Amino acid sequence: MTETAAVSGAKFRLDGKTAIVFGIGPCLGNGIALALADAGANVVVNARRHEAVETLAASINTTRKGAAAGIAADVTTAEGAEMVLRGAQDAFGGIDIIAYNAYALDAGHNTTFAYDSPFDTTDADWARCFEVNVLAPYRIAKAAVPRMRKGGAFVSSLAAAAFTPILPAVAYGATKSALATMTKYLAKACAPDIRFNAISPSNIENPARPAAMRAAAASYPMARMGTPEEAAAAVVFLASSAASFITGQIIYVDGGRVTTA
């Protein structure tokens, strides 16, 4: 291998970078935050519940003292988003990476699939999904991009429902699809200074997953559920200089569910 073709492992490191993870949780959100911290980034974690952010930040600080801060705020409001962005700057001096993992589902799209039809979706479902899945990341991007250091990265979390119908989650799927389109628009508008990409995880392990989902995973090419670590690794890659020529793209972390359908 020639020297010019070699890829150094250092390109996957995030030492000296500051990352914000919007929408932590026991599955993917926490995994993203932990993976970014493991790669060397300082991490600000966000959710609405104080206990959740304080617990995760404390866990990271156990192994990398002072590397994490937790900020509880509702980022569907401009005030909440500003609190997190300003807090990251105050804590670590700047912003390099944003991972947007917050989401809203149709009220009937849960472990029991309470809705029978997409026509059961209410106006309130549509409004909430649009607010969290589209408008909030747009507002955050609008406020964050002027503050982000050149070479920064914004990575959003999509879902299989954005690309293939998973009934009855019409509002969730449609708004995640809108986020995918917005990612491409912002990638074009903000290049070359800030890169916008997304991951599309599906069938990621979570204690709340119903047995039916695990059974269905056997029919997809990888024939198993994925792990939060596997999905988080894609975020770390997209945030790193190893992906410095990648923008406006989607990485499907779904065991082949969407791309081989």
Contacts of 77 (CB under 8 A, 6+ apart): none
Neighbours of 100 (CB within 10 A): 26
One-letter identity of residue 171 = A
Q: Do 28 and 106 touch, CB atoms closer than 8 A?
A: no
The order of strands in the sheet holding 68-72 is 68-72, 42-47, 18-22, 95-100, 148-157, 194-201, 250-253
Q: How far is CA 251 from CA 23, 156, 202, 259, in A?
A: 19, 10, 11, 10
Q: How far is CA 76 from CA 14, 30, 103, 137, in A?
A: 28, 20, 10, 8
Contacts of 233 (CB under 8 A, 6+ apart): 35
Q: Catalytic residue at 172?
A: yes
Cis preceding-peptide flag for 210 (omega within 30 of 0): no
List the catalytic residue out of 103, 172, 220, 252. Answer: 172
Asked whether the CA dihedral 73, 79, 85, 88 is positive or negative, the reply is: negative
Residues known to be catalytic: 172
